[in-house]
Amino acid sequence: MIGELLSKKAWKLLLPVLAAGIMVFTWLMTSCSIPSENAENLIESGAFIPGEPLAEDEMRITFMGTSVIPRRGQACNSIFVETGNGDSFIFDMGSGVSANYVAMGIPYSRMDKVFLTHLHADHMSDLTTLYCFGPSLDRKTPLRLFGPSGDTADEGTVAFAQTLKQFTKWHVESFSFTSTGLKNGESGYDIEVTELPYMEEGVAYDENGVKITYFPAVHDRNGAISYKLEWNGLSMVYSGDTKPSYFMIDQAEGVDVLIHEMVVPPEVWAAKNTGFKPGDRGWEQAVAYTTAVQDSSHTTQRAFGYILSQTNPRLGVATHFQVNDDTVGPAMEDIRTWYEGPVTLAKDLLVINVSKDGIRQRYAQVSDYAWYPTPSLYPPDQLAPPKYPSPLAQLNDELLEQVIPASVYEGAN
């Protein structure tokens, strides 16, 4: 009927509009939705748009990475926490998360306080990017790094920071033809380390009304911790990686948001990672490996439900978990054997606004091709002079002799 009412010319004009509408609808469905079982319909349909103001009495938690496996849809582990007083904090900085920080419009000047739970690569690898590129952009002050001690002096966060500075020396020098610090002596390439005794409970940070404490985590080997942030009567616990422990139950009771790791069952992990199935050669070996990893380090789906039942947060959030259509339902069933309260299984770019009146959850709408956000600018008279007088100062004469003069190609017709 419609085809009979429209001329061929009208169809030619209308088809591009319809196609565009279908593309927008498809983008919205794939970018802003998650499996319906994921959060028991707690996720709002409206997207979070980067740059949205934060109310003075709110805390905002953004999940920049949510997986142990680096995936296109889920980078490794990191959360970004903002408080209404203008402060901001990073907890872990795992492989691949830098792209999400850029997409969310977070400048390096707001990424100056990093709290590491432990030194596995999926929790600290992208610290290299943050450290290397921050000073050449708008973080001209030292990186403040908090993290656990180890059993020996060469295993803890202090040793890690020293090694980070050593293996990035070439990068640091190469960018020192521009200003990377301030005239008052502060340098973006300095690292101020606070190493936290992993077997203790204590205060890591207490400034501007924000208090961050730490406590032991049980993960793989000695030297892992979890964190609790408290501000303005609001609270959040971030577990990092850990087996289910009484440390967590003692520290997380009654918090507003409990962010806790959770892993798929060993059989699922083995099947997804190898493609094997029961009866295949290698199946038993694969399951034995994933079972050993779980037993040494991680929290099962039912154990997560049990922890929630003992702590009763306003919202429980599972992370470190691969969110797929066929993993979400079984995970929720296991959690629900113990706990009936609000639960979300996080994917990247989940944004949670927390206030005393409510908790709001959305997924961010971002560009896959974002550039760096607008930087915070220092007055030129506050910037330290560059270490090297020109961009070419670190190149020898033999290399410079091989440079094609700009007059050769810029003047071409």
3-state DSSP call for residue 204?
strand
Cα dist from 242 to 99, 142, 158, 165, 229, whole Å: 26, 30, 22, 28, 18
With beta carbons less than 8 A apart as the criterion, state whether 183 and 378 touch.
Answer: no
pLDDT digits (tens, 9 = 90+) for 177-218: 999 999 999 999 999 999 999 999 999 999 999 999 999 999
pLDDT of res. 209: 98
Report pLDDT for 41.
61
Q: Would you say residue 55 lies in a domain?
A: yes
222 vs 23 pLDDT, higher one = 222
d(CA 376, CA 171): 22
Compute the distance between CA of residue 410 and CA of residue 156 in angstroms, rounded to an integer.
52
pLDDT of residue 373: 92
The verdict on residue 407 lying in a domain is: no
User: Does residue 298 sit in helix, strand or coil?
Assistant: coil
CA atoms within 13 A on the CB side of 318: 30
Domain hosting 91: range is 33-237+343-380
75, pLDDT greater than 80: yes
What stretches of 165-224 adopt beta strand conformation (E)? Answer: 191-196, 202-207, 210-216
pTM: 0.90
* CB neighbourhood size of 90 (10 A): 25
| Ordered DSSP codes for 92-150 | ---TTTHHHHHHTT--GGG--EEE-S---HHHHTTHHHHHHHTTTTT--SPEEEEEE--
268 in any annotated domain? no
Flag the least confident range among 15-24, 62-71, 118-127, 244-253. 15-24
Q: Is residue 215, in this structure, part of any structural domain at all?
A: yes
Tell me the pLDDT of the chain averaged across its residues.
91
Q: CATH no. for residue 79?
A: 3.60.15
CA distance 243 to 343: 19
Residue 41 covered by a domain: yes
Confidence of residue 369 (pLDDT cuts 50, 70, 90): very high
- 301 in a structural domain: no
CA atoms 72, 369, 120, 234: torsion sign: negative
Is 208 a domain residue? yes
Q: Domains in the chain: how many in total?
A: 1
- Classify residue 396: in a domain, yes or no: no
Assess whether pLDDT exceeds 50 at residue 33: no
For 333-378, the DSSP string reads HHHHTT--S-EEE--TTEEEEE-SS-EEEEEB---TT--PPPPPPP
Burial of residue 381, with CB atoms counted within 10 A of its CB: 0-12 exposed, 13-18 middle, 19 or more buried: exposed
Mean pLDDT confidence for 346-375: 96
Q: Which of 31, 91, 76 is nearest to 257 (CA)?
A: 91
